[in-house]
Structure 1
Amino acid sequence: MQTITSQNLTVKINPKGAELVSLFNHENQTEYMWSADPNFWGKSSPVLFPIVGSLKNNVYRFEGKEYTLPRHGFARDREFAVEKSSENSVTFLLTHDDNSLKVYPFKFEFRLIYTLINNTLSVTYAVKNIGEGEMFFSVGGHPAFAVPLAENTNYDDYYLKFNKTETFKRWGLTNEGLIETQPFDFLIKTNILPLTKELFYDDAIVFKNLESTSITLKSDNVNQQLQFDFEGFPFLGIWAAKNADFVCIEPWCGIADAANHNQELTEKEGIMCLIANEIFEKTWCVTV
């Protein structure tokens, strides 16, 4: 387990999946991350790479060949190397190998960079194409934050406050985890999403191209809250396992296949493309 610290915070990251497992505020003695209770969902913040969400029939095609990948790809189950570390920052590295090339025919370097400054943790995804041709990929986050955050409060006491008032269109998911072809009205001219356990009984809430770039998880009954900044991520998921005490705020560069997708990787919605030796970087931040 890798640990980084600032004046008020201690952060722990598991090299398996370079997964954030603890964000502890010493000032108010609060753990902000979900405990990864396997009775509900045994993860706390898996990284999604080289795809986000599900593929149609778990299959994609590239240059006439078929490949199989599970939901959210393989990085979350791989052991990352610690490339460098300091008191307040650590960089994890995953590279292609013979096993990855069988299911994902691209040579890459994938870094996760965690940095603490005061009460803010920044998480940067850095993807480099070290092959000769174009590389196609998606990447995203899946951090699960504890709800409730304080004793003597309930799940229903909390809400998500977006930094923009807007009309939210929700993209539904099929039973196979694919994106429906048309969205439906979800929230009308508001910036508040009250949290309830029932909210997630129909799987994740998926948004595309929101005006908002920041969300605050809070309750009016306590001081503990967090601010989540995700500028530059075109897709956002909000999710919790059934009846579990957490909420995931998921910034994505990429999205599950649409129900009518032709399974061609290069034509996948939200797919990113890197030319040889090019580097892609994107950062989300959480402030507590």
Structure 2
Amino acid sequence: MANSRFEYVRSFERENIFPQETYLVVRVDGRGFHKFSAEYDFTKPNDLDALKVMNLAARSLAEAIPDIILAYGDSDEYSFLLRKNCELFERRESKLISTFSSTITAYYQHHWSVVFPSKPLKIERLPTFDARVVMYPTAKLIKDYFSWRQVDCHINNLYNTSFWTLVEKGHLTPKEAEEKLKGTLAADKNEILFKEFGINYNNEPEIFKKGSILVRENPSLLAVPEDGSNLSERQKQREMKKLRKSKIELYHIDIIKEDFWSTRQYIFE
């Protein structure tokens, strides 16, 4: 770039660069999706096709960015875990935020047109996403982070299932349903569903109760030498090629118990 007398304005730019050898989680979240879901008449409490769009968008993003080793999604939110030795955008926060938010938005709009061909998006209500990056220093914190998101999914889904059942089958107003659920525990909500409506919450689809997990499931392709930070550019390119070829699987399973992590130690290597 040619120098000019106006270039001094660059001195006002600030960049946050995350340190090496730490885990980065990029969480994307739909902006104004409460109004968005109302505009396009989502099924309550869960719209399976809308979740399919979100999962397809997240998978496309994981395929486009090989450094994504694991992702967890619920509703209009997805968290992406980057490899510990990731050097994507030189670990610059602003680039990670802008890339993840814009790319997931583009993929979501693309997959929407495939899943909902009879519901074209309106210019006045387009889906958009924001993003944030959080740094974690240890594998334990990563496990606890994803456990937190799955617990949150369960709590929200149990409440929403109870709320919309009271409204749609119990013929309560939203205000009345809210009042009836105020102060109730999980056991109370389960009892309301079962005794009043014959619904066993345990039989609800796993995708609703546990959310969605995307994980690269070929550890042999993910092995990185211990001195990975000293790899040549050519070696790094080969590693990226292996990652691009690795298989991404979708699950709706428990990630709070240690079983999920103990069989996938390569996630943290």
> Which protein, 1 or 2, shows the higher relative CO under an 8 Å CA cutoff with sep ≥ 6?
2
More strand by share: 1
More helix by share: 2
| TM-score w.r.t. length of structure 1 | 0.25
| TM-score w.r.t. length of structure 2 | 0.26
